[in-house]
Structure 1
Amino acid sequence: MNVKKYLIVAAAALTVYSARADEGMWLLQLMKQQNSIDMMKKQGLKLEADDLYNPNGVSLKDAVGIFGGGCTGEIISPEGLILTNHHCGYGAIQQHSSVEHDYLTDGFWAKNRNEELPTPGLKFQFIDRIEDITDIVNQKIAAGEVTEIDAMTRPFLSKLAKELFAKSDLKDQKGIEVQALPFYAGNKFYLFFKKVYTDVRMVAAPPSSIGKFGGETDNWMWPRHTGDFSMFRIYGDANGNPAEYSADNVPLKTPKYLPISIKGLNEGDYAMIMGFPGSTSRYLTVSEVKERMNAENEPRITIRGARLGVLKEVMAASDKTRIQYASKFAGSSNYWKNSIGMNKAIIDNDVLGSKAEQEKKFAEFAKGKPEYEGIVEKLDAIKAETEPLVRQFTYLAEAFMSAIEFGSPYLVMEDLKKGLQEKNDSLINKATEQLKSVFADIHNKDYDHEVDRKVAKAIFPVYAKAIPAEQRPAFYQIIENEYKGDINAFIDDMYDNSILANQANFDKFLKKPTIKAIDKDVATHYSKAKIEKYTELLKTINDKSKDEVALHKAYIRGLGEMKQPVPSYPDANFTIRLTYGNVKSYNPRDAVHYKYYTTTDGILEKENPEDREFVVPAKLKELIQNKDFGRYAMADGTMPVCFLTTNDITGGNSGSPVINAEGQLIGCAFDGNWESLSGDINFDNNLQRCINLDIRYVLFILDKLGGCGHLIKEMNIVE
């Protein structure tokens, strides 16, 4: 059946779907086709479809973009000022921090344009255009140019995107990049034209005691009192085009920016979020959910827990180490806790039961339809074979490809050996230069060899306990045979005596490289063994699951047909989406009620000077105690901090604008609630909440604590 048919919604669906209006990460380009704009208006929206997304003009879409590599940011002034989360800007804040200038601890406030800090490597991407290329892909499949499975792969889609870009009217514009992606498991394909700005400068960031208040304890939890925001600015050339950093660049004159409302909000108010949700898996079967729990989440929880225990200890003992590892710790711990919460929520919310009910309905629907009969059973058979392999793979990847940073580029070492054997000076020189680059990459400013050694000593035995001896990489045999099973002795030898372990070892080797030195290098043996095991597992998993892509494509197409006339939305894949809902409180369990907002009173209630996660800056405490909130306070004189909505979000939505019925910014999304961490797999209307930072708290901190009234003056604030 043509996928377009099941995406079209009959008018009757408006009544049917109203019961689940808050679920969905909707494609902007299908709003009119799917009648989602009518549903939004029923919820309270006062704008038209073209105000949100207009392929031929300026719309809200043009004020939202990708911040960095995995977050969302929004433009809040005509001068290219970006608002995003503190945890999204954390890497940049850490990049600029040192013991002498500890912006993580003290915060950063640029008092003028000259103080805004260039941030190499940071990008901001706008979506310029979206094109439906489904027919083009399907024609290539029909012509035998590509298989149905290969049409979903990055090599094919990257090549196709380049071909289409070369024929487009944007091919000569500066900073334009293209990306082709599958949707609905390959039933639809879209081409995205992105305008990429590379001169992005840090403007403002509160101290971590505000931006990360509550730390890991409060992460994914409500009530929340975290001032999770930071600000940056886009610069371009004199014509507003993307350009590499230059002192001559100027703030970007943006065609669209979000006005800011400080009028306040009430329970039931309309709220929508536009952003770039990273990844969801809403259409999994029972066996696939079990694989997620047992083969992905459980290994991640185990390995990251061991690493985080080490990092927490060493970071507490040294400011230098704390700054070095701040971003790594935050990135690792976020999805460590998410995995814990997801596994718990899957059980608590009976996700497996919901998926089983979905499969039962699908089986009834599939009767007499050869294209759908037996799909779930075939997927179950694949999962029975792949789950133990995926478990091995995740343990290996989390332990030795992620948690432990030190190693050796064994392929480069092989090239060097070959050059030495053949007395090939060209090959020797090339490999030597590559080694120098790798050494510099390993021993960068955010790496501590002794910290990594401690991590390795924690990880090696944890991995060995989880994985049987016959399934481990070959270096465990070296430990048994040459180190009498002493893991610490093996690690110490590697971290002390390997060629890339330190500058002295490296210089000595480069002075006179020998085949013998390479052959005895512990880090090279370690790296070769882990990569060989990684490659072996990946190939085996791919071989056993080669039919999975086509089965999923059919399953999701069938689910869409089964739901008609109710519309379906595709899983998140870090493309621009819209979700709509309302401001709403919730009841997490019996006799417990959470209201929809928090205030600064809760900050003082949580304060604990002995706990780094709950330290309150003296100036903030004084402002709260004196109720010096200015025009940002609520009618009763209290200062709001965070609020809840029913919007459907996930990772990647961090930093997304929360927008009211008039199209005005009321907050910044930054988290989900603990009770619904199974939401990436199964949306729960009763429990799912999005945790947002109230824009009034952002402005209060910016003005009263940061002294950045000049930034507020460039915004359009609606009172």
Structure 2
Amino acid sequence: MNRKNILLSAILFPAVMAFAQQYGGMWIPTELNEKEMKDLGMKISAKQIFDPSKPSIKDAVVQFNGGCTAEIISPQGLLLTNHHCGYGQIQRHSSVQNDYLSNGFWAKDMNGELSNPGVTVDFIADIKEITAQVLAGTQNLDEKASQALINQNIETVKAGFKLEPWQKVVIKPVYYGNKYYAHVIDTYKDVRLVGAPPSSIGKFGSDTDNWVWPRHTGDFSLFRIYADKNNKPAEYSKDNIPYKPKHFLPVSIKDKQENDFTFVFGFPGRTTEYLPAIAVEKVMLETDPAMIEVRAVALKILNEKMRTDAETRIKYASKYASVANYHKKWIGEVEGLKKSDAVGKKKRYEQTLIAKNPQIKTTIDQLNTLYNEQSPYSLNRSYYSEVTRNAETLSLANQYINFMNSYEAGKINDQTLTAFKNRLSGTYQNYNGELDAKVTAQLLALYAEKTPEKFLPANFSQLKDANKNLATVENWSKKSVVTGRGTFNGATAVTDIDKVFANPAQLIKNLKSDPIIQWASAMKDSYMSTSEGKYSELQNQIDVLQKKFMAQQMETDKDRKFFPDANSTLRVTYGQVKGSNPRDAVSYGYQTHLEGVMEKYVPGDYEFDVPAKLVNLYNAKDYGMYKDKTGDVPVNFTATNHTTGGNSGSPTLDAHGNLIGLNFDRQWEGTMSDINFDPRFSRNIMVDTKYILFIVDKYADAKWLIKEMKIVK
């Protein structure tokens, strides 16, 4: 290369990096970075994406059951989301005799669709910035008085909205409380299961491939929204009719090219892109490793049992997947933070800010002091919360302890008692006390080993031996009401929970002598008295400073275009279809195919088996219109969209607003994007719409569903 070209490259390269969104972006849909989106190739307007006054793409995007995202893909309310988002519903309809997890489920017509009591979908009718109203009068108040007035102002703002009976207003802060937005929400309550592939397709690769590229997973399921005869939200009724949406997404089966524009529309859960370097360092070196360690112990024990027992596999399927998901994510996050030099990058940025605004040094110094002081309490908090969450016996005990405290404080009435019993029954339904005794024994030993003595209850060191613990916990469990194995009033909490709770006062007297309750109480009391109070006190101070630091960043860095961290509200992120080079001499393409499924196929394996019919379709090359230019069916693809948890099930759209993919994961090397988006490594992973339609059409023979959709060829 001659000198002129070298200089030209040096000039162009930084511009390309900036153009490629080096900071990522989860944009509020009323405040889109429209110019950059169009520079990258978008052909529609921001108004076509979000317009509260007339139909727009936002009318096809919903929050599914309070966590995932889903989208409407037909004029009859057909809803597409991930298999793992619908997993709980598929599981609840399954049994050993009728195993939809293993065999899949496909309604033959609308009459065969299965109801899901309690499942909801939320549409965002409107978004309004209300910062001035919420912060009015707070400028000269101390933090406590300011927050009290903010809470009062929020209630006043809420009261000013004129709502329909099915609507609610949710007000959330962004930029750590420097701005506030109101979200008007329509909630639909009749959501029915329409179809789901078997787990061998919907979870293909399972734990081994989770968070990993290349992927070959058909992670999708289909539901349908029902409404009353006036197309309004209603409780489940056989008289309800399919919902007629204001907008539904056309489904594109056009081939993809590298660098094609894409955008993802959904409800990302939580990111923390603007933390100081010290906070990122604590996550990377202390809290993430602690949580990884606890879950590794629990998962090993559960996995051994699930591999050998079909009933346990079904009972624990959703639970295991949930625990494993973030275990692996945190591992990738730690590695990604190290590889991307996240702490070093943050420190250099802080010095840049200080050079422009010396007052920021005081803020950062104070944050450094507070995080270092909080460190031992934060680490103990990570161990305690993960141990009591993953040892379900302790989790159940804490539920009973909360009940006991509420009852003795006079806070239990018929309604709250019923709710508590229902919550317990749901836990017992998928709980194996004998299996969890093994988990609890191991985690008690880990907690005793890893926790400084000053944070432990008296005599807790005797629990450092996991083998001795097992005999002890088993002995406790057999006699305990908590585990559902011991009896009270002639019944167990599993077989007759109403009888167990018929005399709450007598039950509480019994529980106070229960050794599981006693140990769980001792752990909780010790944690609350030694750690939680101090952790929270320091966190409150950190939060005040983080709000100030956020404001200082926005005021000082005029060259950076800021977007708010994710907070489970509706957002748009955009990027390009792209492969990656995550490590030295490793290059990933952007697209996988059905051939790759067959390369991984291991007959009888719980992760990599596939149904015989899929093998037959592959062997016959019976692909119809779903093959691409290679002659194969595309399965998954990657792009540079900035996604996180909650974006599961989000639609991936092309330059014209057509559905081209279903977001379900991130590339392992880029999971640190919740804290530090890095364009070199951060990739979201999507199911290709061609594969979705291929499975629905060719595998499930559910052509009646294909006919509902608008297919863009």
In 1: Cα distance, 2:353 partner to 2:53 partner: 40
Amino acid at match of 1:77: S
Partner of 1:457 in structure 2?
A: 441
In 1: Cα distance, 2:120 partner to 2:419 partner: 29
- Tell me if structure 2 keeps the 8 A contact 1:22–1:579: no
In 1: Cα distance, 2:266 partner to 2:412 partner: 48
In 1: Cα distance, 2:145 partner to 2:616 partner: 63
Shifted more, 449-458 versus 109-118: the winner is 449-458
The question of 1:502 aligning with 2:510 is answered no
The question of 1:61 aligning with 2:62 is answered no
Q: Aligned match of 1:100 in 97, 104, 129?
A: 97
Shifted more, 505-514 versus 74-83: the winner is 505-514
CA spacing shift, 1:485–1:274, aligned 2, 3 Å: closer
1:274-326 alpha-carbon deviations (Å, 9 max, x no partner): 11111111111221012212342112101111111111111112111111111
The alpha carbon displacement at 1:523 in A equals 2.5
In 2: Cα distance, 1:227 partner to 1:299 partner: 32
The question of 1:26 aligning with 2:27 is answered yes
Partner of 1:255 in structure 2?
A: 246
Partner of 1:73 in structure 2?
A: 70
Shifted more, 490-499 versus 230-239: the winner is 490-499
Partner of 2:331 in structure 1?
A: 340
Partner of 1:469 in structure 2?
A: 453
The alpha carbon displacement at 1:394 in A equals 1.1
5+ residue gaps, structure 1, are: 1-12, 420-425
RMSD of aligned residue pairs (Cα, Å): 2.8
The alpha carbon displacement at 1:217 in A equals 0.7
Amino acid at match of 1:529: A
The alpha carbon displacement at 1:471 in A equals 1.5
The alpha carbon displacement at 1:352 in A equals 1.3
CA spacing shift, 1:604–1:169, aligned 2, 3 Å: same
Aligned runs of 1:622-637 on 2, under 5 Å? 622-637=616-631
SS of residue paired to 1:360: helix
- Tell me if structure 2 keeps the 8 A contact 1:294–1:391: no
- Tell me if structure 2 keeps the 8 A contact 1:500–1:506: no
The question of 1:49 aligning with 2:46 is answered yes
Partner of 2:496 in structure 1?
A: none
Partner of 2:6 in structure 1?
A: none
Q: Aligned match of 2:161 in 153, 168, 187?
A: 168
The alpha carbon displacement at 1:85 in A equals 0.8
CA spacing shift, 1:551–1:470, aligned 2, 3 Å: closer
Q: Aligned match of 2:225 in 234, 240, 246?
A: 234
Q: How many residues align?
A: 685
Amino acid at match of 1:218: D
1:628-648 alpha-carbon deviations (Å, 9 max, x no partner): 011111133211101111111
Q: Aligned match of 1:224 in 210, 215, 230?
A: 215
SS of residue paired to 2:234: coil
- Tell me if structure 2 keeps the 8 A contact 1:160–1:180: no
Amino acid at match of 2:520: S
- Tell me if structure 2 keeps the 8 A contact 1:204–1:232: yes
In 2: Cα distance, 1:203 partner to 1:533 partner: 49
Partner of 2:265 in structure 1?
A: 274
1:174-194 alpha-carbon deviations (Å, 9 max, x no partner): 321221111111111001111
In 1: Cα distance, 2:646 partner to 2:459 partner: 37
CA spacing shift, 1:210–1:189, aligned 2, 3 Å: same
Q: Aligned match of 2:368 in 380, 385, 396?
A: 380
Q: TM-score, normalised by structure 1?
A: 0.90
The alpha carbon displacement at 1:499 in A equals 3.4
Shifted more, 389-398 versus 579-588: the winner is 579-588
In 2: Cα distance, 1:549 partner to 1:21 partner: 26
1:451-498 alpha-carbon deviations (Å, 9 max, x no partner): 221211221112222113331245727869xx9994234312321122
Amino acid at match of 1:472: L
- Tell me if structure 1 keeps the 8 A contact 2:488–2:507: no
In 1: Cα distance, 2:411 partner to 2:275 partner: 49
SS of residue paired to 1:294: helix
The question of 1:355 aligning with 2:346 is answered yes
Partner of 2:576 in structure 1?
A: 582
Partner of 1:593 in structure 2?
A: 587
1:251-292 alpha-carbon deviations (Å, 9 max, x no partner): 110001101111221111111111111111111122101221
- Tell me if structure 2 keeps the 8 A contact 1:137–1:151: no
CA spacing shift, 1:715–1:303, aligned 2, 3 Å: same
In 2: Cα distance, 1:288 partner to 1:126 partner: 35
In 2: Cα distance, 1:530 partner to 1:204 partner: 45
Partner of 1:521 in structure 2?
A: 514
In 2: Cα distance, 1:653 partner to 1:642 partner: 16
Partner of 1:366 in structure 2?
A: 357
In 2: Cα distance, 1:411 partner to 1:642 partner: 45
The question of 1:437 aligning with 2:421 is answered yes
The alpha carbon displacement at 1:650 in A equals 1.0
CA spacing shift, 1:387–1:143, aligned 2, 3 Å: closer
- Tell me if structure 1 keeps the 8 A contact 2:20–2:679: no
The alpha carbon displacement at 1:361 in A equals 0.9
In 2: Cα distance, 1:617 partner to 1:80 partner: 29
Partner of 1:400 in structure 2?
A: 388
1:528-549 alpha-carbon deviations (Å, 9 max, x no partner): 2233244332221111233212
CA spacing shift, 1:514–1:658, aligned 2, 3 Å: closer
In 2: Cα distance, 1:464 partner to 1:479 partner: 6
The alpha carbon displacement at 1:526 in A equals 2.6
In 1: Cα distance, 2:654 partner to 2:417 partner: 55
In 1: Cα distance, 2:416 partner to 2:703 partner: 53
The question of 1:700 aligning with 2:694 is answered yes
SS of residue paired to 2:673: coil
The question of 1:530 aligning with 2:520 is answered no
- Tell me if structure 1 keeps the 8 A contact 2:582–2:681: yes
In 1: Cα distance, 2:361 partner to 2:84 partner: 46
CA spacing shift, 1:515–1:626, aligned 2, 3 Å: closer
In 2: Cα distance, 1:484 partner to 1:220 partner: 31
Partner of 1:10 in structure 2?
A: none
Amino acid at match of 1:214: G
Aligned runs of 1:539-618 on 2, under 5 Å? 539-618=533-612
1:75-94 alpha-carbon deviations (Å, 9 max, x no partner): 11111111111111111111
The alpha carbon displacement at 1:415 in A equals 7.0
5+ residue gaps, structure 2, are: 1-13, 492-499
In 2: Cα distance, 1:70 partner to 1:208 partner: 21
In 1: Cα distance, 2:406 partner to 2:590 partner: 61
1:360-404 alpha-carbon deviations (Å, 9 max, x no partner): 11221222xx4x341111000000111111110111111013432
CA spacing shift, 1:384–1:622, aligned 2, 3 Å: same
Shifted more, 259-268 versus 492-501: the winner is 492-501
In 1: Cα distance, 2:704 partner to 2:303 partner: 38
SS of residue paired to 1:41: helix
- Tell me if structure 1 keeps the 8 A contact 2:479–2:485: no
1:655-706 alpha-carbon deviations (Å, 9 max, x no partner): 1111001110000111111111221111111221111110000000001111
- Tell me if structure 1 keeps the 8 A contact 2:404–2:508: no
Partner of 2:180 in structure 1?
A: 189
SS of residue paired to 1:317: coil
In 2: Cα distance, 1:21 partner to 1:499 partner: 55
Shifted more, 446-455 versus 13-22: the winner is 13-22
SS of residue paired to 1:28: coil
